[in-house]
């Protein structure tokens, strides 16, 4: 058996994959309809939308592969497929020395035929495949290849559409809609795993002054600077968003309040370094409120947002009274 090699752009590829926040989310009709179409069109027992993570391939859509949501990457055929630019076609795995003794071939689901079309995301990074699987050898002609590429492009369109509709156009982080979607998934995961999380509600200080003094174009640049500092200071698995105006939010999974406080202090340090650099003619500052999510006594996302906003407001008001 041949273990799939790592792409040269693996670090960027994983970053792009994780930026979608699709891993370990619930099934969605927009992907399931495509795998159903693929299964019917090609008359195969299994069609998958497979996302290749660091150590596994995880199935965002699984049509026909009962009882499995992921497999190890080192035995995955999709791990090989993402190394190429076009469909990886294996008409008969038993006739291919790379796969003849693969556990997925020798044991269930007894893969004999495989066709996987790489899914391209930002900067032509291949994050997974739309793949077809059969337990019998098959022919696959040029017309079949065109049809599979067309279906794969539909999956790519769904990925891009989701990203566009849930991203803030100015700062390129999640918008309110994206945050609610991704944070809801995260809280569901935390509750199911029994781990805590923290929501941090953030509001820039004296942002109106920046707009009034330096103009709205400079105000936009301040928002972009701050979003960039948030992305660098917080974990890659955290959900960060611009809710609107100068309001931002972060949901940190698997953290207690004291740990979240440390990360916000790290963000403040980055802000201080930014201010010291004099990159902008004004200084950035922010007020925040932290609320802890307890999986044993779960609160709704809306309740957490309201509580975080209330704490932040009290902090900001206390600063104003000192000025």
b/e per residue, 243-270, with b = 16+ CB within 10 A? beebbbbbbbbbbeeeebeebbeebeeb
188's enclosing H/E stretch is helix 176-193
> Is the full-model pTM beyond 0.85?
no
Residue 98: CB partners within 8 Å, gap ≥ 6?
A: 1, 2, 80
Residue 148 has pLDDT above 70, yes or no: yes
Please provide the average confidence, as pLDDT, over all residues in the chain: 92
Residue 39 has pLDDT above 80, yes or no: yes
> How far from 239 is each of 175, 178, 291, 323, CA to CA, in Å?
11, 9, 15, 33
Mean pLDDT across the stretch 161-173? Answer: 84
Whose CA is closest to 201, among 288, 286, 265, 307?
288
d(CA 5, CA 165): 34
Residue 86 has pLDDT above 90, yes or no: yes
pLDDT at 95: 97
3-state secondary structure of 271: helix
pLDDT at 154: 94
* % pLDDT > 90, the chain: 75
Residue 45 — left, alpha, or beta (φ > 0 → left; ψ -120 to 50 → alpha)? alpha
146's enclosing H/E stretch is helix 142-165
Q: 225-270, pLDDT tens digit by residue?
A: 999 999 888 866 688 999 999 999 999 988 999 999 999 999 999 9
pLDDT at 162: 77
pLDDT at 7: 94
pLDDT at 118: 98
pLDDT at 254: 87
CB 111 within 8 A of CB 136: no
Mean pLDDT across the stretch 275-283? Answer: 91
Q: 16-28, pLDDT tens digit by residue?
A: 898 888 898 888 8
pLDDT at 62: 95
**Domains of the chain in sequence order:** 10-165 (3.30.450.40), 176-322 (3.30.70.270)
183's enclosing H/E stretch is helix 176-193
Residue 37 has pLDDT above 70, yes or no: yes
């Amino acid at each position: 058996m041949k273990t799939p090699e790592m792409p040269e752009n693996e670090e960027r590829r994983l970053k792009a994959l994780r930026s979608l926040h699709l891993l370990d989310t619930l099934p969605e009709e927009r992907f399931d309809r495509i795998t159903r179409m693929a299964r019917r069109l090609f008359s195969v027992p299994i069609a998958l939308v497979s996302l290749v993570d660091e150590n596994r391939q995880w199935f965002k859509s699984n049509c026909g592969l009962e009882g499995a949501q992921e497999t190890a990457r080192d035995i995955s055929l999709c791990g090989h497929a993402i190394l190429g630019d076009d469909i990886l076609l294996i008409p008969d795995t038993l006739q291919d020395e790379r796969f003849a003794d693969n556990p997925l071939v020798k044991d269930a689901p007894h893969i004999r035929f495989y066709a996987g079309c790489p899914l391209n995301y930002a900067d032509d990074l291949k994050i997974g495949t739309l793949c077809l699987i059969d337990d019998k050898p098959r022919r696959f002609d040029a017309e079949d290849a065109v049809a599979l590429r067309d279906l794969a492009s539909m999956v790519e369109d769904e990925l891009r559409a989701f990203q566009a509709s849930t991203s803030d156009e100015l700062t390129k982080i999640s918008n309110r809609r994206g945050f609610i979607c991704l944070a809801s998934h995260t809280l569901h995961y935390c509750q199911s795993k029994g781990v805590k999380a923290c929501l941090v509600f953030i509001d820039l200080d004296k942002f109106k002054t920046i707009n009034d003094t330096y103009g709205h174009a400079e105000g936009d640049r301040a928002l972009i600077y701050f979003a960039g500092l948030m992305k660098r200071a917080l974990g890659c698995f955290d959900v960060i968003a611009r809710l609107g105006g100068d309001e931002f939010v972060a949901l940190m999974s698997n953290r207690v309040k004291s740990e979240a406080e440390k990360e916000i202090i790290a963000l403040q340090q980055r802000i201080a370094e930014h201010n010291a650099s004099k990159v902008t003619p004004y200084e950035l500052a922010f007020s925040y409120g932290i609320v802890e999510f307890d999986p044993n006594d779960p609160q709704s996302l809306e309740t957490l947002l309201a509580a975080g906003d209330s704490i932040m407001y009290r902090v900001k008001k206390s600063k104003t009274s000192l000025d």
